[in-house]
Chains A and B, each alone.
Chain A
Amino acid sequence: MTELVIPPALVLLSGALLIAITRGLLRNSVLLLAPLITLWAVWQIGDGVEVVGSFLGYEIQPVEGSAVRRLFATVFTLMALIGGLFAFRQARTAELAAAFAYAAGAVGVAFAGDLITMFLYWELMAIFSTVLVWCGGTPQARAAGIRYAIIHLLGGVILKVGIEGIVVHTGSVEIQPMLATNFDTWMVLIGILINTAAPPLSAWLADAYPASSPTGSVFLSAFTTKSAVLALILLFPGEGVLIWVGLYMIFYGIIYALLENDARRILAYSVVNQVGFMVCAVGIGTEMALNGAAAHAFAHIFYKALLFMSAGVVIYRTGKSRCSDLGGLFRTMPITTVCGIIGALAISSFPFTSGFTTKTLISVAAEHEGLVFVYFALMAASAGVFLHAGIKFPWFVFFQKDSGMRPKDAPWNMAAAMIICAAVCIGIGVFPEPFWALLPYPVDYVAYTPSKVLFYLQLLLFSGLAFFLLLPLMKRTLTISLDTDWLWRVAGLRVANACLKGFERLGVLVAGLKASLYDNAPRLTAVLNSTGALGRTWQIGTTALWIVVLLTLYVALYFL
């Protein structure tokens, strides 16, 4: 190709820089124009490698296009645009700039044709997402941000070890499908899985996202996990272990969300749950499953952003995020309530919402491969999603009891962003065909048959019945649930403290020995000086005798 190709990530990154240094109307126009220009640039990228370069002596491919890459880059850019609309009057400039740089990292990963470029953008995301967590501004946000950064830098190092291994052993930095068969590929897989919030390091997500600002969590929910899903689609399609990792994430998310009291933490756990569906789909690895993973990622970004937006508005208006403090807000927040419910229905794959068309792609792909257990596990999980996110979230936040609060509804920009997301959720649900044209493989699938709709209606509505019958069991408690991060936040701390105590005791012991040495100095010198037992001059004969005895002992011991 002879014409000039503009790397879309750089457009968005320049936008982030401009946002950081401009104010007022100028800044707001950058917030609007930078994603639009990026979107245009995304759709200028054809299939195949579009930009080549060299870095540290390696041939790199900073921009490589394909259908699935354009799809992810599109949704990342759209989320920068809509997130910008949602946040621009409430968020600080630093937060908006960080969010755009973070989005640029995600777009960069989407088009990275080689592992080195991918890694650089990967780290860009890690840095600016950490800044975004810190923009929460509270002491909890600071602490959670540090924990978040540690996990992601660790993930980056693991990824880097894998990439360097692959480069050294194969000589190729290309992004191409592989399986986890040796140390290098396992390291790459683990590095990517850390960003999907896979076990055992899932806790970072529910720790950090709810600590960010009401607007920050909207951006955070979109990029890190989904760019990792794209990396899995490009690098590990059909890697069987992902099916089980995905299923674990699905049920982990449901169980922890059921136990949770904080509205945004419920949503954070359900991010892990939904990404689990995608990871599982990549593990199944057929064209239909990969279509499902990509489509579900796209749909998920919108309904999850919508859910975080509705929670964000509630927190912005009331300053509260615990379910036990909320309730009854539907009276004065009708727009937020309706939008929140639409997001909740979409995440639950209710018929005529986006989740229905994309999630059934995944379960039908499992059925085509004859994975009976996986299929029924996904069905049970769909019921569980309706339980923990579809009903629990809107019920406890907007209905439940009367909290006595009568907050105003969303400010106009937040309402507009929510309505756009809700429209996308319903649009993809009602008219999936135009959307399917964007998927990586041809779609040979009918989303709506009366049989399928009826099946899901039964499944979901009876889950709803279970929720209301079991409501007494779900009384909110002022608690958190321990996760694997307990190992370093508590057990690790205890071990470290015990070590410190040990060293302290050792110090005391050494000091005591030293003191007693000084106390016994006169007696010691008596032994060591020229008249003492060890200090006086010995006769040659005596010395020789001792040497003979010692050597004999040594030889005897040697032969024993």
Chain B
Amino acid sequence: MDDNDHWLTRPASIRKLWIGFSAVLAMTVLAQLVIGIKGYFGVDSMFGFAAAFGFFSCVAMVLLAKAIGALLKRPEDYYHD
């Protein structure tokens, strides 16, 4: 059995996965038109709030980690030279 050519690793299937994933993302936001999110503080019932909040908090956290990493990252053998 040749495992090197797994269907998950083919560019074509990865493209399909991206398309499928994007469709799911769009659906979760569009579903809000039908279901409606009952927020607690007003702002969180806005259309697509959770999507935007999740996305941008993650971007912020990755960038923050990047900045902190620039300061705190050291080679693996830092403690036992």
Residues on A facing B (Cβ under 8 Å) = 251, 254-255, 258-259, 261, 328, 330-332, 367, 372, 375-376, 379-380, 383-384, 386-387, 399, 402, 406, 449-451, 454-467, 470, 473-474, 477-483, 489-490
Contacts and interface: CB of A to CB of B under 8 A. Distances in A.
13 contacts: A376-B53, A379-B54, A383-B53, A399-B8, A402-B4, A451-B36, A459-B50, A459-B53, A461-B25, A461-B28, A463-B55, A466-B58, A482-B78
A380 B57 contact: yes
Contacts of B24: 461
A465 B8 contact: no
B11 interface: no
A481 B50 contact: no
Given A386-B54, A458-B51, A466-B54, 14 more contacts: A251-B61, A259-B68, A259-B73, A375-B41, A383-B53, A451-B38, A454-B31, A458-B54, A459-B53, A461-B24, A462-B25, A481-B72, A482-B73, A483-B72
B54 A459 contact: yes
B3 A331 contact: yes
Contact of B76 (A387, A460, A478): A478
Contacts of B9: 328, 402
Interface of B: 3-4, 6, 8-9, 21, 24-25, 28-29, 31-32, 35-41, 44, 48-55, 57-59, 61-66, 68-69, 72-76, 78-79
Contacts, number: 140
Given A451-B36, A455-B37, A462-B55, A478 B61 contact: no
A478 B75 contact: yes
Given A258-B62, A450-B35, A466-B54, A458 B29 contact: yes
A482 B65 CA distance: 13
B53 A380 contact: yes
Nearest to B48: A458
B57 A455 contact: no
By secondary structure, the A interface counts as: helix
Given A458-B48, A473-B66, A480-B73, A489 B40 contact: no
A470 B58 CA distance: 9
Contact of A480 (B4, B57, B76): B76
Top 8 A-B residue pairs of the complex, sorted by shortest distance between their CB atoms = A466-B58, A458-B50, A380-B57, A459-B54, A258-B65, A462-B55, A458-B51, A383-B54
Given A406-B3, A481-B72, A384 B41 contact: no
A481 B65 CA distance: 11
B65 to A, nearest CB: 4
A456 B50 contact: yes
B28 A372 contact: no
A459 B51 contact: yes
B41 A372 contact: yes
A481 B69 contact: yes
B74 A479 contact: yes
A379 B39 CA distance: 12
Given A402-B4, A454-B32, A462-B54, A387 B44 contact: no
B62 A458 contact: no
A399 B21 CA distance: 17
Contacts of A367: 40-41
Contact of A455 (B25, B50, B73): B50
Contacts of A466: 54-55, 58-59, 62
Contacts of B38: 449, 451
B55 A259 contact: no
Nearest to A331: B3
A461 B24 CA distance: 9
Contacts of B52: 462
Contacts of B69: 259, 479, 481
Contacts of A455: 37, 39, 44, 50
Contact of B65 (A259, A449, A477): A259
A473 B50 contact: no
A467 B55 CA distance: 9
A386 B65 CA distance: 15
